[in-house]
Chain A
Amino acid sequence: MLKQYSFEKTAVQTFDDSVSLALKTDNLQVFYGANHAMHDANLEFPKNQITALIGASGSGKSTYLRSLNRMNDGIATVTGKIWYHGVDINEPDVNIYEIRRHIGMVFQRPNPFAKSIRENIVYALKANGIKGKDELASRVEKSLKGAALWDEVKDNLEKSALSLSGGQQQRLCIARSIAMEPDVLLLDEPCSALDSISTVKVEETLLELQKKYSIIIVTHNMQQASRVSSQCAFFHLGHVMEYTPTATMFSNPQIPVTQDYIAGSFG
C-alpha cells in the first residue's frame, strides 16, 4: 500500500530577478480526458543549467515535459501558462512548429530516422530552408561534435543511422536536436534504454551542452539526477512536491514524501 502524503505541504523554490529564466510554467494542468494527470505545476527553469525531474512512474514528469514543447497537442488537454521569452507558448494561436525549433526534444528510446547519419541531421534543416552546402556541412560537424559523436562517425556519414549502437543512436538524436540550434533541450529519460558506458557518454555530453543550452531532463535514475543536474524537481502522483537545488534535494530534503523517496523507503 502506498503511503498517503499531503499534497498541501510542498517546497518549491522560485528565483529572484537576478537569475534569467529559460522557461517558466504557471499553474500548468494536464488532463487525459477525465484523468487529471498534472496539478498546478509552477516551475522556473534557470538558463544554462540542467534541471532534473524525478519521481516514480506515473508521477506525471514525462507528461509535464511533453507539454513544454506542445508535444501533448492532440493527446492531452493542457491549461495554464508556459512562459518562454515573455510569451505564453501555451496559447492556441502560437506557431507550434516554430516553438519546437526553439525547444528541442530527445526521447526515451533512440528514434533516428531510417536515413543516413548525415541525412538525419540535415533533413529538418533543409525543411526549414537552410540550403547552403557549406552551412549544412558545418552544422553536421558542429552538432555531431556537440553530441560527442563526431569522432566515431566522421568517416561514415553516409552509413545508415540504424547501423549505429543504441548509445550512438541516442547521441545522434541529441545531435539532430541541437543542429536546429534550440534554446532549450528537453530529454525524456534519454538513458533508460542504454548501457552504463553509453549512459556515461550521454551524461558527459549533457554537462558540456549546458554551457550553450538550458536542459530539462526526466530521469528515473537518482544517481543520474545527482550527477548531472543543478536543480531538481520531485514529482508525486501528478503534483510537484519539492523543487530545490540538487545538492539540497539529496542531502537535506524538505518534506516527508521527498525524504522517503530519496531514502528509498517510499510506499
Chain B
Amino acid sequence: MNAKRKDFVATVMINLIVAAVVGILVFLLTYILVAGLPHVSWTFLTGTTDAFSGAGGIGVQLFNSFYLLVLTMLISIPISLGAGIYLAEYAKDNWRTSLIRSAIEVLSSLPSVVVGLFGFLLFVVKFKIGFSVISGAIALTFFNLPLLTRNIEESLSAVSSSQREAGLSLGLSKWKTEIGIILPVALPGIVTGVVLSAGRVFGEAAALIYTAGQSAPVTNFGDWNPMNADSPLNPFRPAETLAVHIWKINTEGLATNAAALSAAASAVLIIAVLLFNLSARLLGNYLYRRVTASK
C-alpha cells in the first residue's frame, strides 16, 4: 500500500468511527423520544402519581427534580468556588496541596450509590432528618463538589497571569484582583461547567434512592411557605425525583401501562438534560460577550 492509499483508508476509518458515535446518540435520542413523546401530555406533566401502583402523572417528581437541583447548586457552588479559588490562586505548590488534590480526585471517583448509602446512614438515620430534599441535596453536593471545584480551578488557571500582574501593579489586593478581574474572565467557563454538572445532577438516581426517598407525597402547590409540612418548598419532605421515578416504575411499578409511563418520563428527562446542555453554551457565550464588552 502506498502512502496515499494508507491515508485514504485511515480517513475512512476515522470517519466511520465518528459516524458510529454520532449514530449511537441519534439512535438513542430518537428511540427514547419516539417511544416516550406520544405518551407525554399536559396531564402527565402536571398530574400526580398513584402512590401504590406508580401510575399517573409526574408533576410532583418534575418539580422535585428542579427543586433538588436548585438546592444542590445553592450548596455546592459557593463551596466549590471557594475551593477552586484557593487551589488556583492561593495554594502553594507543596505536599499539602497535592494531598488536597488527591482527596478531590478520590471524592470524584466514589460511586454515586456509595455516596447515597453514606448520605442515608449519616443524614437520614443518624441525624434523623429522614428521607428528604435536604438529605438528597447534601448527598448530591458530595458527588458534585469535586467536578465543580476542578472546573472552577481550571477556568481560573486558564486566565493569563499577565492579568493578575496588571491588577497587582495598580495597587489592587490579590483578592480584589481575583474577584474583579480574573473571575469575570473565567466566568463563561465556570457557567458552562455549572450547567453541565446541573444536567448530571438532574439525571442522577442512585445517590437519591436512599436520601431523597422514593415517595412523592402530594404537595399543596398553593402553599409556598417552606416552613409548612405540605409546602412544595419544605426541604424536609421526601422527594422522589424524575430519575428515581423512572427507576422505580421499571423495577416495582404495578401500573398496567408501566412501560409507557417510563418511556414518557425518560423522554421528559432527556429533553430537560438537552436543554441544560444547550443553555450552557448559550449562557457561556452570552456572558463572555458581556464581561469582555465585545458585542
Interface of A with B (CB < 8 Å)?
69, 71, 97-101, 104-105, 107, 109, 111-116, 119, 123-124, 127-128, 158-163, 173, 176-177, 180
CB within 8 A of A180: which of B160, B170, B292, B293?
B170
With A114-B185, A127-B180 given, is the CB distance from A162 to B170 under 8 Å? no
With A71-B165, A123-B181 given, is the CB distance from A114 to B170 under 8 Å? no
User: What's the least CB distance linking A32 to chain B, in Å?
Assistant: 15
The 7 closest A-B pairs by CB, nearest first: A101-B171, A124-B170, A111-B162, A116-B293, A105-B169, A160-B293, A100-B171
Cα A173 to Cα B162 in complex, Å, equals 12
User: Are B173 and A97 in contact (CB-based, < 8 A)?
Assistant: yes
CB within 8 A of A176: which of B160, B170, B184?
B170
Cα A103 to Cα B180 in complex, Å, equals 21
User: Are A98 and B171 in contact (CB-based, < 8 A)?
Assistant: yes
User: Are A163 and B294 in contact (CB-based, < 8 A)?
Assistant: yes
Residue on A nearest B173 in the bound complex, by CB: A97
With A107-B162, A111-B163 given, is the CB distance from A100 to B294 under 8 Å? no
Cross-chain pair count, CB within 8 angstroms: 72
Q: With an 8 A cutoff between CB atoms, is B172 at the interface?
A: yes
Q: Which residues of B contact A113 (CB under 8 A)?
A: 163, 166-167, 181
Q: Which residues of A contact B293 (CB under 8 A)?
A: 114-116, 119, 158-161
User: What's the least CB distance linking B87 to chain A, in Å?
Assistant: 17
Residue-wise interface mask of B (165-199) relative to A, using a CB-CB cutoff of 8 A (1 in contact, 0 not):
11111111100100011001100000000000000
User: What's the least CB distance linking A213 to chain B, in Å?
Assistant: 15
User: What's the least CB distance linking A181 to chain B, in Å?
Assistant: 11
Residue on B nearest A162 in the bound complex, by CB: B292
Q: With an 8 A cutoff between CB atoms, is B283 at the interface?
A: no
- A-B contact list, 15 entries, CB within 8 Å: A97-B172, A99-B171, A107-B165, A107-B166, A109-B162, A111-B162, A113-B167, A119-B293, A123-B181, A124-B167, A124-B170, A124-B171, A128-B171, A163-B294, A176-B170
CB within 8 A of B168: which of A100, A116, A123?
A100
Dominant SS among interface residues on chain B: helix
User: Are B185 and A111 in contact (CB-based, < 8 A)?
Assistant: no
Cα A173 to Cα B184 in complex, Å, equals 19
Q: Which residues of A contact B170 (CB under 8 A)?
A: 100-101, 104, 124, 176-177, 180
Q: Which residues of A contact B171 (CB under 8 A)?
A: 97-101, 124, 128, 180
CB within 8 A of A104: which of B160, B169, B181, B294?
B169
Residue on B nearest A124 in the bound complex, by CB: B170
Q: Which residues of A contact B291 (CB under 8 A)?
A: 114-115
With A109-B162, A111-B162, A114-B184 given, is the CB distance from A127 to B294 under 8 Å? no
User: What's the least CB distance linking A200 to chain B, in Å?
Assistant: 24
Cα A155 to Cα B169 in complex, Å, equals 28
Cα A174 to Cα B153 in complex, Å, equals 31
Residue-wise interface mask of B (275-295) relative to A, using a CB-CB cutoff of 8 A (1 in contact, 0 not):
000000000000000011110
Residue-wise interface mask of B (133-171) relative to A, using a CB-CB cutoff of 8 A (1 in contact, 0 not):
000000000000000000000000000101101111111
User: Are A111 and B166 in contact (CB-based, < 8 A)?
Assistant: yes
CB within 8 A of B292: which of A69, A99, A105, A115?
A115
Q: Which residues of A contact B172 (CB under 8 A)?
A: 97, 124, 127
Q: Which residues of A contact B294 (CB under 8 A)?
A: 160, 162-163
User: What's the least CB distance linking B9 to chain A, in Å?
Assistant: 44
CB within 8 A of A127: which of B165, B166, B176?
B176
